[in-house]
Structure formats: structure tokens, C-alpha cells
């Protein structure tokens, strides 16, 4: 294998010939596959709480992970020492772990070699002064507090990151990617006779500071404040089975958690997915097409390549209700003789890749969203879902409704207190009976799996599920 490229890390180069030596070292004892993942990440964050800017921080993290596969055994080592000596030591450790041959995963963290520092390298600041980032926080704080005297607390956060990755392996892959992400969030607390209520809004995109030319942080703060104020007058949510209309964008997290994870090939292979063995079957309403797409430019889960060096792509998982494919990483695709799908992702160089989503969403239908509400005599309108939990083996889930309203006589009326939305992922997919034409992506998210978190996006048009369980307290 010939490699003709290099990656810059803190002024030093990991040369092509060094990468080739590392991959060769990984396979020197007979392993059939070796891989190197190199990462250099810089980040800045700022936070405001109770009117005060509490922190403005910058950081940098860089290193390499070496993976060696021998039969059913994976050896893995990671190091922050990007010298030739450090990388070869990691490759040797990973190869030694793979030789143990017990079919498991052996993970080794190497300490960097001590050396005499010859300079004091600092993370270069972004082109945007930190004062401009702090100003965003202060503007959001002032806007939220201007809405009503009941607003007693505002917190806001800003973050950006730049990550350069390089992936090479013994199959000839040699890929690099630059990943820029910019994030802003605002949380508001209001107090009244009903106690304390909260409102929240956020944005996150894989673009730079120009995101604030198209998104006004004051408008975000006002939306969050109005959400909190409205909930002060909220009535108890109903309980029992009711039709549920979910606003565009806000319900994507439900499909991510309750359906998306069950379509990840590693969980399918372990028998931990309700969708195992159902390829080609009708698993959802014929209205539903579910896609995972890492190529969505600007969206929070967008990537040029996955963390195994495979180009990101658009993967149709469910088409017109029929299960068409799962999401794949290198190891699962190789085992099942399937092509990779660009879904091998890892939190950092210190972690092994696994099957993960990117941007997961339900595509547009044909209904006007207002007509969907008018067609619902009595039910619940969910404007924003919160966190939840799901059992991927059964598909059962519980999600918090952080902003919801009663639907009466085909109209959205009174706000409801926070309560739970309870259901089963496969059943919800089958019970979608109206699908809007107003597709939108939702808030940025960090998806946790096996201790690793990666940025993901999700979305959907306004839709109606003909019956879901509301865990409210009203009779």
C-alpha cells in the first residue's frame, strides 16, 4: 500500500511514511486489518448564569487511536504522543492485544512519552473575538428578562469547535475531514402561582459564526421566555390514550431514540433490536420514509467522512413503511458482506468506532399542518419533546413533553403541564395516519451510546399519531 499525504498537528507532520509504518506494525503478526485515526480538536465555550458571565474557556485535544483486527478479536490502543515512536508503540500494543484471540475487545491507553518542552504552544483564537461571543450571551439574557417580570433566571451558553481528523487503514483508505460546529443555547425559568416553569431553545450547525447572521439570539431567548410564561398558566395534562399531533422538527428525537437505534447493525446483530429479521417487511405506516443522512450540509450531524474514513451518505432505512436497510460500520458490514453506510462514529481518538446515526428524519407528506390539527377533535399537540428512554429490544419508550397544548374541537387551546408521552416505537410508526408537508430539523443533540457521545440531528414534518398514552394527572 502506498500513501502520499500528511496531517499537520501543532506544527509537526505525521508523514505518510510514518502512517504506513504504523499500519504495517499493526499487521506484522498476521492480523488482517489495521487502522489509524488521528484527531486534532480545538474548542471554545462561554457560559452566562444569573446575569453574569461565569466562564470563557478554550481547549485542545489531540491524539491517535490504533485498531488491529485478527479474526474475531479487536485490539485497540490510543495515545496523545503523535511522534513516530509513540504511534509505533500504540500499534504494537494494539497488535499484541489482538493476538490474544479470545474474540473480545482489548483496549489500552498509552501515556505520552516525557520530553523537554521547547516552546509554549497556545491554542490560536478564532477569527471572532471572545468579546463578541460573550455579547451574544448578554443579548439573550436581556431579551429574555424583558418579556415579563416573572422571569427569574436566565442561563445561556455558547460553544464552537474545530476538529481535523485523518483516517488510514490497511485496506487502502486514506481520508481526512475538517469539522466545524457552532452551538448556542438559552434556558429560562419563570415563577408564579403554579411554581417554577422552564423554557428552552437552542441551535447548532456545522458552520461558523455566520450562523448568527441568519439566527437571532434575542428571538431564541424570547421564544424560551414565552414558553416558560405560558406554562405558568398550564392545566394538568390528560391521562390515557389520545391522538397526538407532533409539531414539525420537535418530534425527531422520538424517531431517533425509539426507532433509529433499533436500526443500528450492531444492536441488530446482538439481538437487541425489535427490527431484527424484518428486512423487506412493512414496519411502519406507508406514509413513513425514514432516512439517515450525513451529507446534509450545515446540519448538526453532518460529516464529510465517518470516523472510519468512509464517505458520509444518504441511507434510506424505511421506505413507504417497508424496512429497506440498517446502518453499518466497518466490522458489521464486513461480517455480513454488506457495504458500509458511513455510520462508523466515535467520540474521540480514545474510543473505538461503533454504528451511530448522523441526521435522522422522517420525510415530508402531503397534508397541510393546520388541516392535521383541524382533523383532530380531541387530543394533545406536542410543540417540544424533552429527554426520554427507550428499550431497543422491545421499542418501548417514555419521553417528556416539555411544551404541549390541548386540542379541542380541532383547535389548539390551553397549555399543559409537563408530563410523559408513553408508547412503543414500532407501533407509533404504524399508527401515523396524517403526515404534513412542512418538514423541519429540530434542535441539535448529543447522542449517548455505550459511554460515547456524538453530535446528531433529527427532524420531521408535523404529523399525527392516532393514539398514544399520555401520562398526565388530569382525570
Task: Report yes or no: 88 and 64 within 8 Å, Cβ to Cβ.
Answer: no
pLDDT value of residue 1: 41
Q: What is the rounded CA–CA span in Å between residue 221 and residue 18?
A: 50
| β-strand pairing of 411-416 with 419-424 | unpaired
Task: Report yes or no: 423 and 469 within 8 Å, Cβ to Cβ.
Answer: yes
Q: What is the pTM of this model?
A: 0.91
pLDDT value of residue 103: 67
Q: What is the rounded CA–CA span in Å between residue 351 and residue 297?
A: 26
What is the mean pLDDT, run by run of 10 residues, along the chain of 475 residues?
Answer: 42 73 90 94 94 90 95 93 94 89 59 43 59 96 96 96 90 87 96 89 92 94 96 92 96 88 95 95 97 94 93 96 97 94 97 97 98 97 89 90 95 94 93 98 94 96 96 72
C-alpha angle 297-300-304 in degrees, rounded to nearest 5: 50
Task: Report yes or no: 78 and 63 within 8 Å, Cβ to Cβ.
Answer: yes
pLDDT value of residue 53: 93
pLDDT value of residue 109: 55
pLDDT value of residue 243: 97
pLDDT value of residue 347: 97
Residue that the C-alpha cell 462561554 belongs to: 46
pLDDT value of residue 465: 97
In the chain, how long is the greatest CA-to-CA distance?
75
Domains of the chain are 130-167+176-231 (3.30.160.150), 239-471 (no CATH)
User: Dihedral sign, CA of 170, 171, 177, 181?
Assistant: negative
pLDDT value of residue 102: 64
Q: What is the rounded CA–CA span in Å between residue 168 and residue 149?
A: 57
- Residue partners of 373: CB distance under 8 A and separation at least 6: 245, 381, 407, 410, 411, 412
First-last CA distance in the chain:
70
How many alpha carbons fall within 13 Å on the CB side of residue 329?
20
Task: Report yes or no: 184 and 203 within 8 Å, Cβ to Cβ.
Answer: yes
CB atoms under 10 Å from CB of 278, counted, come to 15
Rg for the chain, CA atoms, rounded: 24
Q: What is the rounded CA–CA span in Å between residue 63 and residue 350?
A: 8
Q: What is the rounded CA–CA span in Å between residue 10 and residue 116?
A: 16
pLDDT value of residue 457: 96
Amino acid at each position: 500500500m502506498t500513501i502520499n499525504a500528511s496531517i499537520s498537528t501543532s506544527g509537526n507532520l505525521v508523514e505518510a511514511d510514518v502512517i504506513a509504518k504504523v499500519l504495517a506494525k499493526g499487521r506484522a503478526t498476521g492480523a488482517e486489518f489495521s487502522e489509524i485515526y488521528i484527531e486534532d480538536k480545538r474548542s471554545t465555550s462561554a457560559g452566562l448564569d444569573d446575569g453574569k458571565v461565569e466562564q470563557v474557556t478554550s481547549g485542545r485535544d489531540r491524539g491517535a487511536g490504533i485498531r488491529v483486527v485478527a479474526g474475531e478479536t479487536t485490539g485497540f490502543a490510543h495515545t496523545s504522543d503523535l511522534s513516530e515512536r509513540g504511534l509505533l508503540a500504540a500499534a504494537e500494543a494494539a497488535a499484541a492485544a489482538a493476538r490474544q484471540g479470545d474474540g473480545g475487545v482489548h483496549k489500552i491507553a498509552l501515556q505520552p512519552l516525557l520530553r523537554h518542552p521547547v516552546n509554549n504552544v497556545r491554542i490560536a483564537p478564532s477569527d471572532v473575538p471572545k468579546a463578541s461571543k460573550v455579547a451574544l450571551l448578554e443579548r439573550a439574557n436581556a431579551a429574555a428578562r424583558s418579556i415579563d417580570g416573572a422571569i427569574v433566571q436566565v442561563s445561556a451558553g455558547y460553544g464552537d469547535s474545530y476538529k481535523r481528523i485523518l483516517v488510514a487503514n490497511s485496506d487502502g483508505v486514506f481520508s481526512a475531514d475538517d469539522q466545524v460546529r457552532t452551538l448556542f443555547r438559552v434556558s429560562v425559568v419563570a415563577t408564579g402561582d403554579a411554581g417554577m416553569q422552564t423554557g428552552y431553545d437552542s441551535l447548532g450547525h456545522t458552520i461558523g459564526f455566520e450562523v448568527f447572521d441568519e439566527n437571532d439570539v434575542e428571538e431564541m431567548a424570547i421564544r424560551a421566555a414565552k414558553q416558560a410564561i405560558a406554562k405558568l398558566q398550564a392545566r394538568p395534562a390528560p391521562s390515557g390514550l389520545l391522538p397526538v399531533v407532533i409539531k414539525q422538527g420537535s418530534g425527531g428525537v422520538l424517531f431517533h431514540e425509539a426507532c433509529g437505534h433499533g436500526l443500528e447493525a450492531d444492536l441488530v446483530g446482538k439481538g437487541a433490536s425489535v427490527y431484527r429479521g424484518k428486512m423487506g417487511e412493512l414496519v411502519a405506516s406507508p406514509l413513513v420514509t425514514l432516512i439517515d443522512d450525513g451529507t446534509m450540509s450545515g446540519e448538526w450531524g453532518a460529516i464529510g467522512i465517518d470516523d472510519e474514513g468512509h464517505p458520509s451518505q444518504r441511507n434510506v432505512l424505511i421506505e413507504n413503511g417497508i424496512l429497506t436497510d440498517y446502518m453499518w460500520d466497518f466490522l458489521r458490514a464486513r461480517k455480513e458482506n454488506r457495504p458500509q453506510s458511513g455510520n462508523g462514529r466515535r467520540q474521540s481518538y480514545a474510543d473505538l468506532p461503533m454504528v451511530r446515526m448522523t441526521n435522522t428524519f422522517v420525510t415530508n407528506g402531503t397534508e397541510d399542518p393546520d388541516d392535521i390539527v383541524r382533523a383532530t377533535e380531541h387530543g394533545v399537540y406536542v410543540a417540544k419533546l424533552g429527554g426520554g428512554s427507550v428499550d431497543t429490544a422491545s421499542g418501548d419508550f417514555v419521553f417528556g413533553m416539555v411544551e404541549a397544548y390541548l386540542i379541542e374541537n380541532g383547535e389548539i387551546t390551553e397549555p399543559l403541564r409537563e408530563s410523559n408521552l408513553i408508547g412503543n416505537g414500532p407501533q407509533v410508526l404504524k399508527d401515523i395516519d396524517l403526515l404534513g408537508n412542512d418538514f423541519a430539523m429540530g434542535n441539535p443533540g448529543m447522542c449517548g451510546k455505550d459511554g460515547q457521545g456524538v453530535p446528531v440531528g433529527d427532524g420531521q414534518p408535523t404529523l399525527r399519531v392516532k393514539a398514544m398514552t399520555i401520562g398526565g394527572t388530569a382525570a
